[in-house]
């Protein structure tokens, strides 16, 4: 006899927040390259740094992923990852249609709007493919490591699995995204420097946000009366079963 899946008060809100951060980071963030000038010389980075503005907020998606896996388990986090994947595919398709759609000659502002739309949303197929593949693989690895470590540590030392899963998941994300998006365009040294910096930056965000993650996890576990352990979970990513 099949049982009805349990309903939660805040799960849907976390899914919406996760997808929102993901879309904004990938659609709004890449539109601008940020710049920081350092008062001293740093190894690998030099005296200044240029970076995609989306990197400031993209790590929040991994924090949401950690919270979802820790509280609700891998299977429910898997549904959220697929929701994000579908949202990214649709957003990419919509952006492509908007860019290639012929502008109306009757609208005088189109002469200024069309070039701006092409700059903001006209990512190459390589960047779009890299974003989608890197997100999918990185988030599933993050959730898998998080769930396995929770069982291994018997639920103790949450910080070890939030940071540990981010180290592995963000490594997969960065190693996939940059070579697919910019391989053959950037030099190997540039690719390596960008991969290392972004990987380290995202891990740093995870570490800094650890107290907030602890608070959110504890509040949700109490509010939902849930603290899921993935002891008998089927960890295939190709399923939506709970």
Rounded mean pLDDT, 86-113: 91
Predicted local distance difference test score (pLDDT) of residue 151:
98
User: For residue range 19-74, what is the model confidence (pLDDT) as tens digits?
Assistant: 999 998 887 766 566 667 767 676 655 667 666 666 778 888 889 999 999 999 99
Give CA–CA dist 95/42, Å, rounded: 38
Average pLDDT, the chain: 89
Predicted local distance difference test score (pLDDT) of residue 1:
44
User: For residue range 124-155, what is the model confidence (pLDDT) as tens digits?
Assistant: 789 899 999 999 999 999 999 999 999 999 99
Give CA–CA dist 103/217, Å, rounded: 48
Query: Residue 197: pLDDT above 80?
Result: yes
Angle value at C-alpha 212, between 24 and 79, nearest 5 degrees:
50
Which domains are delineated in the chain? 11-224 (1.10.1760)
């Amino acid at each position: 006899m099949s049982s009805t899946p349990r309903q939660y008060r805040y799960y849907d809100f976390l899914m919406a927040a996760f997808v929102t951060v993901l879309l904004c980071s990938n659609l709004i963030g890449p539109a601008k390259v940020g710049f920081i000038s350092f008062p001293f010389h740093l190894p690998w980075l030099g005296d200044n740094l240029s970076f995609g503005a989306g990197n400031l907020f993209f790590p929040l998606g991994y924090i949401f992923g950690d919270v979802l896996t820790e509280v609700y388990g891998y299977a429910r986090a898997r549904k959220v990852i697929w929701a994000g994947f579908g949202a990214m595919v649709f957003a990419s398709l919509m952006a492509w249609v908007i860019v290639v759609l012929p502008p109306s000659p009757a609208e005088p502002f189109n002469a200024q709007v069309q070039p701006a739309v092409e700059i903001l949303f006209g990512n190459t197929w390589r960047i779009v493919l890299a974003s989608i593949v890197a997100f999918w693989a990185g988030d599933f690895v993050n959730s898998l490591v998080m769930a396995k470590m929770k069982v291994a540590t018997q639920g103790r030392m949450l910080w070890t699995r939030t940071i540990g899963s981010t180290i592995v998941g963000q490594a997969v994300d960065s190693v996939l995204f940059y070579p697919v998006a910019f391989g053959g365009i950037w030099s190997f040294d540039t690719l390596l420097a960008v991969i290392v910096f972004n990987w380290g930056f995202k891990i740093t965000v995870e570490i800094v946000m650890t107290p907030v993650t602890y608070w959110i996890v504890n509040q949700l576990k109490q509010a939902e009366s849930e603290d899921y352990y993935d002891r008998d979970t089927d960890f295939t990513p190709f399923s939506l079963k709970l």
